[in-house]
Amino acid sequence: MKFTSYWLDTAPAGAAERSTTVVEGRTDVAVIGGGLTGVVAALHLARRGAKVHLFEQHTVGFGASGRNGGMATTGMSIGIRAAVAKMGLDKAEPLYRSYGQAIDLIEKLVADEGIDCDFARPGKLNLATKPAHYEGFAKTAELLTTRLGVEADLVPKAELHREIGSDVYHGALIDSKSASLHVGKYIRGLGEAAERAGVTIHENAPVLTLAKRGSGHELTTPRGRIQADQVLVATGAYTRRPFRWHQVRIAPVGSFIIATEPLGTSRCDELLPTRRVASDSKNILNYFRITPDNRLLFGGRARFAMSNPESDEKSGQILRDAMVRILPQLSDARIDYCWGGLVDMSIDRMVHAGERDGVYYSMGYAGHGVQMATYMGRQMAEYMAGVPEANIWRDFPFRRIPGHFGPPWFLPVAGAYYKLKDRVS
């Protein structure tokens, strides 16, 4: 079993010279973070004619962008009904629709840049773990169809076998717009596209200091210093010093994934015959899908802990037990991959993007980063070019997480709280 991301292990590596670049001189924009937000923003800024340098602590896609479930789904992290109750339909609707627009953007980028990443739109299967959750799905479907004009199909428990080879769920809600893709090939392909557009990518080049210099900023890295007129912080759950203001507003929550051995087409037909991506309705949820080479990828918040080799291995065993409980026909399946990553959660589970002290930022995707990081990368390029309405999240206050001073000591407490909610909800 490999303790590494299946996506990154099966994607082409980036150019070796990215780790030997000289950092010096001046640039129009410095982008910090080589995930989807940073790379897509750099690509679109360069297309606008800007000189762009991108700095990544490790390699492009090393963080959450290469460690997720490979799903691009519609819907907000807090749920459309909760969003409408919180802010009203007029404010919630454009936010909700932006997730669908984000998937459309992924599809366009894949086509325009010729990225071979197995992009498909099979839809998403939202699975009810309790009867009451299916009743909630019915209310969500009514809201979507009657007030937003969005297609949403309910599948009762008696008909669920046409979608999944499991008896543990109480029905499902289908979203037909959601997509699946090989995220390792996607982010690496976007990196190559950004370079073709003129972006200079510096890998293994963490930004150590960021200081105001006149109307711009000076960035220090282990390989030199550079002056930038504009700076975009796109580090998500991996935000550390010198970006403390952002760090204490984001909780880095571990998300863990296993992938089985290749199962073959016929066996996968028994598991997920429609090949939809799937997730359940718990707070501490599980999500799963079939990979392009017919493995079952199975993930979730197995433990509220940071990702490290010991934590990943413990989480992998928890996930395997959950997988077999849901799909007992996989009790004899070998696990080939086990890995972890970090999800960036804000206190209100909303995206936060804007500018502070001349530094731009976008983060807080709360498990919806494949689509929303892609979307916000493009939108932040426009926002930084002087189009304020491009940033639909600009009016949401980015509040500090109480008691958060750096290391997320509070994760076990949060985990216990959400486990309790799952028991009683």
pTM: 0.94
Count CB neighbours of 166 within 10 A: 17
The superfamily in CATH containing domain 6-251+346-415 is FAD/NAD(P)-binding domain (3.50.50.60)
Please say if the pLDDT value at position 302 is more than 60: no
What pLDDT, on the 0 to 100 scale, is given for residue 262?
Answer: 98
With bands split at pLDDT 50, 70 and 90, how would you rate the model's confidence at 311? confident
Give the Cα separation of 38 and 60 in Å (integer): 10
Which residues make beta-bridge pairs with 172? 127, 155
418 or 337, greater pLDDT? 337
Please say if the pLDDT value at position 400 is more than 70: yes
| Domain edges within the chain | 6-251+346-415
Q: Which residues contact 373 (CB under 8 A, 6 or more apart)?
A: 35, 36, 37, 40, 65, 234, 236, 362, 365
Of the chain, the end-to-end C-alpha distance in Å amounts to 36
Give the Cα separation of 332 and 149 in Å (integer): 44
Structure confidence by residue, pLDDT tens digits, 13-61: 888 999 999 999 999 999 999 999 999 999 999 999 999 999 999 999 9
Please say if the pLDDT value at position 361 is more than 90: yes
- The residue length of the chain stands at 425
Averaged pLDDT, 193-211: 98
Give the Cα separation of 139 and 132 in Å (integer): 11
What pLDDT, on the 0 to 100 scale, is given for residue 143?
Answer: 97
What pLDDT, on the 0 to 100 scale, is given for residue 412?
Answer: 60
Return the DSSP state at 120: B
Give the Cα separation of 392 and 352 in Å (integer): 9
